[in-house]
A = this chain, B = another copy of it.
Amino acid sequence: MITLASDFGEPYPAAMKGVLLSRTDARLVDVAHNLPRQEPRTAAFWLRETLPWFPPAVHLAVIDPGVGTDRNALVVRAGDSALVGPDNGVLMPPARGLGYPDPEAFAIDPGHEEFPATGGEGSTFDGRDVFAPAAAAVHEAGVEEVGEIEWLSPVDDPEELRFPEPDLRGREASGEVLVVDRFGNAITNVPGSVLEDRFGEEVAVNGTAVPAERSYAGVEPGHRLATVGSHGNVELAVNAGRGDEAFGVGVGSEVTISY
């Protein structure tokens, strides 16, 4: 199984699918192709939340603002799964999310004959010309054989991308908004456990009292709430509305919750 994620929209991912299907009979599964453009951080968050639900697979993740520069192209092994994408940190949180705190990274040699479309040089579409052929080859070889592939070489210090840790003291948690989803839910790095014994009561979010609820439907439509999202973190939301607007927050905004 090979999953595909990118910020390409349409129709660029289809070229990647064509390359994959020319080289493997693997099942292909689209994860997302409308991830926010050129935001490895947001993509890393969503892939960390999503990929652990899959059985072992090769996960292609092409969010690549540095395409055409000398940044490495990577294969990262996390147990019996592998991630393939640019060396900008996007692969690391999902690799750890798969349960491997120290994933092994390997750099792809894009000049190798395995990648004929690059002409041995740069490409403006490494998703098609480097990452898709690499993902197909890793799938065909088997993830356990990654260390034996001749166009891969170990990398000791892949780019890291880590999400900030929240600050928990007493009955106050300080953190920040990690991402805003398409519904406007502002997803923080504050663990949902802080709301655990507060459901049905009010907590203070940046000084304003709002109800803590198990579900959006715990308040009337249009009303604010703090809840625990499907990722396990505190989410600032509005039932049938946009939490980001109602709370006046965006990615990176500081959030203090007193409970």
Task: Report the nearest B residue to A11, measured CB to CB.
Answer: B32
Instruction: Check B214 against A50 for contact (C-beta < 8 Å).
Output: no
A3 on the interface (CB 8 Å rule)?
yes
Query: Is A66 close to B, CB under 8 A?
Result: yes
For this chain, the copies found in one complex come to: 3
Pairwise interchain contact B53-A15, C-beta atoms closer than 8 A: yes
Q: Are A128 and B230 in contact (CB under 8 A)?
A: yes
A29 touches B28 (CB 8 A): yes
Q: How far is the CA of A50 from the CA of B125 in the complex (A)?
A: 12
CA distance A32 to B124 in the complex (A): 21
Contacts A29-B17, A69-B217 given: A128-B53 contact, CB under 8 Å? yes
Please name the residue on chain B nearest to A49 by beta carbon: B15
Nearest CB to that of A52 among chain B residues? B18
Residues of B within 8 A of A19 (CB): 53
Neighbouring B residues of A10 by C-beta, 8 Å: 32-35, 182
Q: Chain B contacts of A54 at CB under 8 A?
A: 17-18, 21-22
Residues on A lying within 8 angstroms of B by beta carbon are 1, 3, 5, 9-12, 14-15, 17-19, 21-22, 27-35, 37-38, 46-47, 49-55, 65-69, 121-125, 128-129, 181-183, 213-218, 227-230, 235, 240
Identify 27 residue pairs between A and B in the complex whose beta-carbon atoms are under 8 Å apart, listed by A's number. A5-B14, A11-B32, A14-B31, A14-B50, A14-B53, A15-B230, A17-B31, A17-B53, A17-B54, A18-B52, A21-B27, A22-B54, A30-B30, A38-B240, A53-B128, A65-B216, A65-B240, A67-B215, A67-B217, A68-B213, A68-B215, A68-B218, A69-B215, A122-B215, A124-B227, A125-B229, A125-B230
